[in-house]
Chains A and B, each alone.
Chain A
Amino acid sequence: MADVTLTPDVALEETPHDFAPEEGAHAHTSTGLSNNKLAMWLFLGSECLLFGGLISTYMLYRGRTQQGPRPETVYDIPFTSVSSFVLLMSSLTMVLAVSAAHRGDVRRTRLWLTTTALLGATFVGGQVYEFTAFYREGLGFTTNLFGSSFYTLTGFHGAHVTIGIIMLMSLVWITLRGSISGNRAEVVEIVGLYWHFVDIVWIVIFTLVYLIPS
C-alpha cells in the first residue's frame, strides 16, 4: 500500500497542505458552504428524532416492569462510567484527528483516527459484555418492557458506534491508499461530526438511562 506523505507532488497538487480546506472548494454551491457538511448536519438533526423516540420509549416503559430483572438490579454503574469515559476520550482523539487533518498532518490524522476506532471498539466490546451479563441475569429482549426498550435503545446506539468505527477504519484505509480526493480535511470532519453525535447521544443515555433511577 502506498503511504501518503506530504511530498510536493502530492501535497501541492491541490493546496499547500495535503488536508487543508480549499478556499474556493464550495464556491460552486449556492450557499458558499459545503453541501456534504450541510447534509450531515441535517442528517444529525433528524437522528435527534430517532434517538428521542427511543429514549422516551425507554423512559416510559422501564418503570412498568411486572416481571424479570429491573434496571436497579442489573445496572453496573462503575463499569458503565468507565465505558462512558472511553467514549468521551474517543471524541477527544477524533477532534485531534480533524485538527491534524486541517494542519495537513497525514500521519497524526491516521494515528488519531485509528485511536478513535480502537476506543470505539472498546466501548462496543464493553456493551457486548454488558448485554451478556444482563442476559445471564435473566434479562432477555422479550423478558419485559424494560428489557425490550433497553436493548433496543442501547442496541441502536451500539450499531451507530459500529458504523462509525467502520467509517473511521475506511478513512484510515483510504488515506493509506492515498486515494482521497477533493476537500480532504472535510471528509475527516464529516466523519468526526457523526462520531461526536454518537458521543452526545451517549451523554444523554448515560444520564437518563443509567444514572436516574426509575
Chain B
Amino acid sequence: MSTVEHPPAVEHPPAVDAASPTEPVEPEVDFDSAHEAEHPRDVLYIKVAAALFVLTGLEVFTSYAHWLGGAFLPILLILMAVKFVLVVLFFMHLKFDAKIFGRLFWAGFFLAVAVYCTALATFHFFAS
C-alpha cells in the first residue's frame, strides 16, 4: 500500500479532477471528439457558398463550351465533385465532426458508386 503523502501546501486547482490523472480519459472507441471541435464562423460558410456559386457558373459555362472537346466531360465531373465535397465537408460539418459519421456516409456513397458503375458497365454504358 502506498504511503506517499502530499505536502499540504500543494493542492490541485479546483478545475482539475484529482482522480483523472490515474483514469483513462480517452474513449475506448477512437472517435474524434465532436464536442471539442468548434463550429467555424459564418464567414467561412459564406465563402464556401460563394465558391459554390462560382463553381456552378463555371459548370454552366463549360456545358456550352463545346470547343473544349475531350476535356468537356472531365472538367464537369471535377467541378461537380468539388462542389459535392465542399458541401459535405463544410456545410454538413464532416470536416469538424466525429469521423464515424463520415465513415458511415462515405461507405454508403462509395458502395453506391461501385455498385451502379458495375451495373452500368454490364450494359456497356461506358463503351458507348
CA distance A46 to B106 in the complex (A): 10
Q: Which chain B residue has the least Cβ–Cβ distance from A207? A: B80
CA distance A170 to B119 in the complex (A): 39
A211 touching B116 by the CB < 8 A rule?
no
> Which residues does chain B contribute within 8 Å of A84, judged by CB atoms?
56
> Which residues does chain B contribute within 8 Å of A55, judged by CB atoms?
116
CA distance A47 to B113 in the complex (A): 12
CA distance A77 to B49 in the complex (A): 21
Q: Which chain B residue has the least Cβ–Cβ distance from A34? A: B34
- The contact size tier of chain A is 35 or more
The secondary-structure label for the interface of chain A is helix
The answer to whether A88 and B53 touch (CB under 8 A), given A33-B34, A45-B108, is yes
- Of residues 52 to 90 in A, which have CB atoms within 8 Å of B's CB atoms? 52-53, 55-56, 59-60, 63, 77-78, 81, 84-85, 88-89
Distance in Å from the Cβ of A48 to the closest Cβ of chain B? 4
B107 touching A45 by the CB < 8 A rule?
yes
A91 touching B63 by the CB < 8 A rule?
no
> Which residues does chain B contribute within 8 Å of A52, judged by CB atoms?
112-113, 115-116
Distance in Å from the Cβ of A172 to the closest Cβ of chain B? 20
Distance in Å from the Cβ of B24 to the closest Cβ of chain A? 13
> Which residues does chain B contribute within 8 Å of A11, judged by CB atoms?
none
The answer to whether A212 and B76 touch (CB under 8 A), given A23-B35, A77-B63, A199-B87, is yes
> Which residues does chain A contribute within 8 Å of B49, judged by CB atoms?
88-89, 91-92
Q: Chain B 73-85 against A: per-residue CB contact (8 Å), 1 yes, 0 no?
A: 1001101100110
Quick check: is A104 within 8 A (CB to CB) of the other chain? Answer: no
> Which residues does chain B contribute within 8 Å of A208, judged by CB atoms?
80
Distance in Å from the Cβ of A43 to the closest Cβ of chain B? 9
- Of residues 57 to 111 in B, which have CB atoms within 8 Å of A's CB atoms? 59-60, 62-64, 73, 76-77, 79-80, 83-84, 87-88, 90-93, 98, 100-101, 104-109, 111
Interface residues of A (CB under 8 A from B): 21, 23, 31-33, 37-38, 41-42, 44-49, 51-53, 55-56, 59-60, 63, 77-78, 81, 84-85, 88-89, 91-92, 94-96, 98-99, 102, 189, 192-193, 196-197, 199-200, 203-204, 206-208, 210-212
